Amino acid sequence: MKRIACTVLVLATGWLCLSQLAAASSDSRKIDGSHSTVTVRVCKSGFLSAFGHNHEIQAPIQSGEVKESDSLSVELQVDAHKLRVLDPEVSEGTRAQIQDTMQGIQVLDVVHFSEIRFQSTAVEPKGPDHWIVHGSLALHGKDRPVAVEVTLKGEHYRGSATLKQTDFGITPVTVAGGTVKVKDEVKIEFEVALMK
């Protein structure tokens, strides 16, 4: 009888452990890459900036995961090859030139640095459905700390952060002897949908 009771106790304990593991893993949800994007906004500056353009660059978020529990966390990856210059006010040919420069050795160098990755290290609550997410951004072969302001609206997480290109070893593009250039500071925005 004692042996049966021990067996039942071991089985019950095992089932409880498995249930807890399943519950722990169920709060992690994969990012829905087909409905998640990152957008980079690059602004012009310089003496003749009226002759330059602001740039809007976008890519799908390739993969990632959000852990929705007491210890919130997020990780995501973007394929730098998939960044596309949107700039609707310029011609298709000019867009293609900007695209080539952005992906080339002068800026992102996507041949050598194809992945952009963010991994959270801490999440600071700022109110209902509002957080500051601290983490490490890997870009252009450098890892730097970044703070992202995040809100949850409906089923989507939306966020933004400002960073300096020079912090990641990128020299802002200049033309016409520096009279037209892009600002060192760029704004990163994202929208993340999770798999159902």
Q: What is the pLDDT of residues 94-133, one digit of tens each?
A: 889 888 989 999 899 999 999 999 999 999 999 999 999 9
- Type and span of the H or E element at 54: none
Please tell me the least confidently modeled range out of 16-30, 57-71, 102-116, 150-164.
16-30
pLDDT at 88: 84
What is the pLDDT at residue 179?
A: 42
Distance, CA of 175 to CA of 159 (rounded, Å): 31
User: Cα–Cα distance between 126 and 149 in angstroms, integer?
Assistant: 9
Give the pLDDT of residue 71. 77
Ranges 51-55, 82-86, 96-100, 189-193: which has the least confidence: 51-55
* pTM for this model (two decimals): 0.78
What is the distance between the alpha carbons of residues 6 and 34, in angstroms, rounded to a whole number? Answer: 50
State mean pLDDT over 27-40. 93
**Secondary structure element (H or E) that encloses residue 66, with its range:** strand 63-67
8-17, 53-62, 134-143, 178-187: range with highest mean pLDDT: 134-143
28-30/63-67 β-pairing: antiparallel
C-alpha 62: how far from chain center: 10
Q: How confident is the model at residue 44 (pLDDT cuts 50, 70, 90)?
A: confident
pLDDT over 60 at 23, yes or no: no
Percent of the chain residues past pLDDT 70, beyond the cut: 79
Q: Supply the pLDDT for residue 45.
A: 66
Judged by DSSP in three states, 44 sits in strand
Instruction: Give residue 64's pLDDT.
Output: 95
- Give the lowest-confidence range in 10-19, 60-69, 136-145: 10-19
Q: Is the pLDDT of residue 178 over 80?
A: no
Instruction: Report yes or no: 157 and 192 within 8 Å, Cβ to Cβ.
Output: yes
